Amino acid sequence: MQINSPKNRIPVGTLRFICSKMILQRLMVEKMKSVNVVGVVLLLFTISSTGLAAPEAEETPLISVSHSLSPDDLYEIALRNNPDHQKNLQNASLAGSNMRSALGTLLPSVDVGFSISQNDFYNPTYIESDGSVSQYPLEVEEYVMMEYVESSTGVKWLALNPDSTVTRTISIPDDETRSSRGWISIQETINLGGQQYFNIKNAKISNRIDNLAVNSSELNLYFSVRQNYYNVLAYRRFLDLAHRVLEQRTEQLRLAQARYDVGSVTELDVLQAEIDVGNQENAVIEAENNVKMAVEALNAIIGVDLDSEYELVDEFNLFSPEYDLGELTREAVISRPDYLQYVEMERYNKNSVNIQRGQFLPNLTASLSHTRSENSGTNVAFTTNPRNRNTSLGLTLSWNLFSGFSDASNYQTSRVALNNARHDRKQQELTIEQEVRQAYYQLMQTYEQSRVTAKNRELASRQLVLEQERYRLGATSQLNLRTAQVTFEQAEADHIANIFNFWSALAALENAVGKRLQ
């Protein structure tokens, strides 16, 4: 570009603009490069420190102890490790933030900011009055201002001389401006219908509901631990019974073989005895597998490694359950966390009705704002202390008189929700009473049956001993002995099942009542 050539001469303002823009573009490029480098470094640091990658899962604990653990011991372990219970605890941990959020509606909103801006302009063209486009620089002729004197009075005045003109050149508009502005605004809105007050009450109710959910989770977890605990003990006793029956069947095979050797029985007795031994060996394998699965189910409930090993306390005897059904039912309504949740939900919906009713009343808003600003011209830097000041204070009362019937619809919906909550609470009350009654009947039935199973167990044992002795002496057939063995095995199994059905029924009754009864 030939700057010195008169034909291609560029106005100084234009040249200054082009040079400034080239420098600014270079600075912006360099700045963007540095920003990109810093951004990449910060991103890598964020990934490595806070972990955008998937977080490592907590290891499942492995229990291996030599001493026996009671249901209460395993319950304490489950409280720390059961995943479902931990989720309930996490949900309840939000109670504090929800409460702060509700209280925050009573506090004013505060907005603070500061901004700076720069405006560069270069306008080489303009629009004529006839709509045509012209360009700068522009030469205009102007009349010269002259001083005139009245000869008679000596009065002087200034006026344009129509006979004298001067030519003035208007250069291309090319300049830059900067502005600085800071502000702070405070606004407080009060719902005269009391919505904020009832929202705070509902936040407290939500906290109580979350805590009740945790209590309900603890109650159900305790019930599940005990049920699975009793299942393990029952299956272990079934396994012990299977081993004892296997010993009996093996002894029967030995007797059958001895009697066959002396010609007292046919080979059919020996073959049948061998079949019985084989069948019982399969029963032992099945019983061992049942124990293994029951132990793993218990470990899964308490949230530990499925291969965890520990001994259980096996000291559970029957006792006479002296409970009053009416007292248990009344206690359940007081103690059951899930029922108390329905009570709290009814209160929550009652407050929601008041909130929707408050929409029919006005809102009062008070505001205070303070602004400072300053515009600066060419070659004047930004300022952090603008000189122009403006402070405003406002008080507004607003009342939404009509909103397309939406307020009325929301109010009616909230009333229906309140009535439904009352029905739900009543239904839950009936459900709880039914659960308590069923659990109580099952417990009493199991206890009454236990006396029969205990007697049958004793009789079946005596019958088996007599039949074994008679078979040894040749006074009875193998069929009678096998019948006695089956009767003994069934009586023992019924007795074992009845013992732990009793304790399971007691656990179900405690879960239905919502508290421990022992």
Query: Which residues lie closer than 8 Å to 471 by C-beta, 6 or more apart?
Result: 252, 255, 477, 478, 480, 481
Other beta carbons within 10 Å of 493: 18
Q: Which residue, among 246, 157, 190, has the nearest Cα to 396 in the 3D structure?
A: 190
User: What distance in Å separates the CA atoms of residue 213 and residue 172, rounded to the nearest whole number?
Assistant: 75
Residue 36 is assigned to a structural domain of this protein: no
Q: Which residue, among 94, 301, 56, 302, has the nearest Cα to 209 in the 3D structure?
A: 94
Q: Which helix (H) or strand (E) holds 168?
A: strand 156-170
DSSP string over 331-389: HHHHH-HHHHHHHHHHHHHHHHHHHHHHTTS-EEEEEEEEEEEEEE-TT----SS--EE
Query: Which residues lie closer than 8 Å to 497 by C-beta, 6 or more apart?
Result: 234
Predicted pLDDT of residue 326: 93
Are 23 and 79 within one domain?
Answer: no
In the numeric block, the tokens 């909550």 are attached to 421
**In CATH, what number is assigned to the domain containing residue 301?**
1.20.1600.10
Residue 199 is assigned to a structural domain of this protein: yes
Q: Which helix (H) or strand (E) holds 112?
A: strand 109-122
Are 25 and 100 within one domain?
Answer: no
Instruction: Quote the number of domains for the chain.
Output: 2
* DSSP, res 403: S
Other beta carbons within 10 Å of 497: 17
Are 248 and 340 within one domain?
Answer: yes
Predicted pLDDT of residue 165: 81
Asked if residue 443 lies in contact with residue 503, where contact means CB atoms within 8 angstroms, the answer is: no
Asked if residue 510 lies in contact with residue 440, where contact means CB atoms within 8 angstroms, the answer is: no
Asked if residue 307 lies in contact with residue 258, where contact means CB atoms within 8 angstroms, the answer is: no
Asked if residue 91 lies in contact with residue 212, where contact means CB atoms within 8 angstroms, the answer is: no
Other beta carbons within 10 Å of 468: 18
Composition of the chain by helix, strand, coil, percent to 5: 60, 20, 20
**How far is Cα of residue 496 from the mean position of the Cα atoms in its chain?**
43
Residue 57 is assigned to a structural domain of this protein: no
User: What distance in Å separates the CA atoms of residue 254 and residue 465, rounded to the nearest whole number?
Assistant: 16
SS3 annotation, 177-225: EEEEEEEEEEEEEEECCCHHHHHHHHHHHHHHHHHHHHHHHHHHHHHHH
Are 6 and 101 within one domain?
Answer: no
CA distances to 90, 296, 306 from 61, rounded to whole Å, are 20, 14, 9
User: What distance in Å separates the CA atoms of residue 343 and residue 348, rounded to the nearest whole number?
Assistant: 9
Residue 276 is assigned to a structural domain of this protein: yes
The two three-digit tokens of residue 436, written as one number: 């308590």
Residue 61 is assigned to a structural domain of this protein: no
Residue 168 is assigned to a structural domain of this protein: no
Are 411 and 347 within one domain?
Answer: yes
Amino acid at residue number 224:
S
Residue 179 is assigned to a structural domain of this protein: no
Predicted pLDDT of residue 209: 93
User: What distance in Å separates the CA atoms of residue 158 and residue 367, rounded to the nearest whole number?
Assistant: 54
Residue 146 is assigned to a structural domain of this protein: no
Range of the domain at 269: 66-107+192-362+399-513
The two three-digit tokens of residue 1, written as one number: 């570009």
SS3 state of residue 415: helix
Query: Which residues lie closer than 8 Å to 479 by C-beta, 6 or more apart?
Result: none
Predicted pLDDT of residue 58: 67
Are 78 and 16 within one domain?
Answer: no
Query: Which residues lie closer than 8 Å to 264 by C-beta, 6 or more apart?
Result: 474
Q: Residue 177 — φ and ψ, nearest 5°?
A: -130, 150
Predicted pLDDT of residue 57: 52
Are 16 and 94 within one domain?
Answer: no
Predicted pLDDT of residue 56: 52
Walk along the chain (518 residues) and give the pLDDT tens digit of each residue: 333 333 333 333 433 333 344 333 443 334 333 334 333 333 334 434 444 344 455 678 898 888 899 999 999 999 999 999 999 999 888 878 888 888 888 889 999 999 988 888 788 888 888 888 888 887 777 878 888 788 788 788 788 877 788 888 888 887 778 888 899 999 999 998 888 999 999 999 999 999 999 999 999 999 999 999 999 999 999 999 999 999 999 998 998 999 899 888 889 989 999 999 999 999 999 999 999 999 999 999 999 999 999 999 988 888 999 999 999 999 999 999 999 999 999 999 999 999 999 988 999 999 999 999 888 766 777 777 888 899 999 999 998 888 888 888 999 999 999 999 999 999 999 999 999 999 999 999 999 999 899 999 999 999 989 988 888 888 888 888 889 989 999 999 999 999 999 999 999 999 999 999 98
Other beta carbons within 10 Å of 190: 15
Predicted pLDDT of residue 311: 93
Q: Which residue, among 189, 253, 439, has the nearest Cα to 332 in the 3D structure?
A: 439
Are 471 and 422 within one domain?
Answer: yes
Are 403 and 314 within one domain?
Answer: yes
User: What distance in Å separates the CA atoms of residue 67 and residue 444, rounded to the nearest whole number?
Assistant: 33
In the numeric block, the tokens 């699975």 are attached to 228
Greatest C-alpha distance within the chain: 176
Q: What are the beta bridge partners of residue 276?
A: none
In the numeric block, the tokens 């002894």 are attached to 251
- Total-model pTM: 0.71
Calculate ∠ Cα 475-479-484, nearest 5°. 85
Are 308 and 215 within one domain?
Answer: yes
In the numeric block, the tokens 């952090």 are attached to 384
Amino acid at residue number 442:
Q
DSSP string over 30-99: HHHHHHHHHHHHHHHHHHHHT-SSPPPPPPPP--EEEEEE-HHHHHHHHHHH-HHHHHHHHHHTTHHHHH
